[in-house]
């Protein structure tokens, strides 16, 4: 298969497996999504979803969050890990949303990435899922699978994002990045598949005998 043929097969198969693409992080608007995505750094979505109800009960808007102390936020989000850094970021970004954006989450990459704790991946998730702007956030699952399927050389996540954006139509990016994550969690996991086990890997590379050594993100 050519790279274009592999990409077309991947897109078709994943759409068949995951016709619906619900966002794994529980939220009700762009602000709560932003906070949930920030909390998900080096933490599972499942754990974030266990923590955010208590946090959002106390503060589900920038105005309410800014009134909490950093210590109060840290105590609630402690199970997510990196709580000292995340609590400071959440508190300060909430203040900045009030100061700079009238309490609203901005719908542009530059403004989002200027907020504390918000990198390109977090901004991409918010832009794609909250505002419907085409983006291709690359997490560890996507980085791993893109290498196994030879859709990227895996040099780094920035390169992987560029390669995937070239491989797939822009109209598919927002759903596809979630579909790849779902598949990476359920079938082509870091341990259960090494590039030779899951259905997509076997279909794309039926003669592959050796495990694929993926470069870390």
pLDDT (0 to 100) of residue 91: 98
User: What gap in Å lies between CA 91 and CA 89, rounded to an integer?
Assistant: 5
Are 3-21+136-204 and 30-131 equal in CATH topology? no
- The catalytic site residues sit at 121, 139
Show me where the domains of the chain are located: 3-21+136-204, 30-131
Tokens of 188: 């082509």
149-169 pLDDT per residue, tens: 999 998 899 999 999 999 999
Model confidence at 216, pLDDT cuts 50, 70, 90, reads confident
- Check residue 30 and give left, alpha or beta (phi > 0: left; psi -120 to 50: alpha): alpha
| CATH for the stretch 3-21+136-204 | 1.10.1670.10
User: What gap in Å lies between CA 94 and CA 102, rounded to an integer?
Assistant: 11
| CATH for the stretch 30-131 | 1.10.340.30
88-147 pLDDT per residue, tens: 999 999 999 999 999 999 999 999 999 999 999 999 999 999 999 999 999 999 999 999
Average pLDDT value over all residues in the chain: 96
pLDDT (0 to 100) of residue 96: 98
178-196 pLDDT per residue, tens: 999 999 999 999 999 999 9
Tokens of 180: 């790849």
User: What gap in Å lies between CA 117 and CA 159, rounded to an integer?
Assistant: 22
Tell me the mean pLDDT in the region 44-63.
98
Contact in structure between 20 and 179 (CB atoms under 8 Å) = no
Judging by beta carbons within 10 Å of its beta carbon (0-12, 13-18, 19+), is residue 165 exposed, middle or buried? middle
């Amino acid at each position: 298969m050519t790279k274009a043929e592999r990409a077309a097969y991947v897109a078709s198969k994943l759409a068949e497996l995951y016709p619906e693409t619900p966002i794994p992080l529980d939220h009700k608007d762009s602000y709560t999504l932003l906070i949930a995505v920030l909390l998900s750094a080096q933490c599972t979505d499942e754990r974030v979803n266990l923590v955010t109800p208590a946090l959002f009960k106390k503060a589900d808007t920038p105005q309410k969050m800014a009134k909490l102390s950093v210590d109060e936020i840290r105590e609630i989000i402690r199970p997510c890990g990196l709580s000292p850094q995340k609590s400071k970021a959440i508190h300060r970004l909430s203040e900045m949303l009030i100061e700079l954006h009238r309490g609203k989450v901005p719908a542009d990459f530059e403004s989002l990435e200027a907020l504390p704790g918000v990198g390109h991946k977090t901004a991409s998730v918010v832009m794609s899922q909250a505002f419907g702007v085409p983006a291709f956030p690359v997490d560890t699952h996507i980085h791993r699978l893109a290498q196994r399927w030879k859709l990227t050389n895996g040099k780094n996540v920035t390169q992987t994002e560029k390669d995937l954006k070239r491989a797939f139509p822009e109209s598919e990016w927002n759903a596809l990045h979630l579909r790849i994550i779902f598949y990476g969690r359920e079938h082509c996991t870091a341990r259960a598949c090494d590039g030779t086990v899951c259905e997509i890997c076997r279909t794309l590379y039926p003669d592959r005998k050796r495990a694929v050594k993926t470069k870390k993100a």
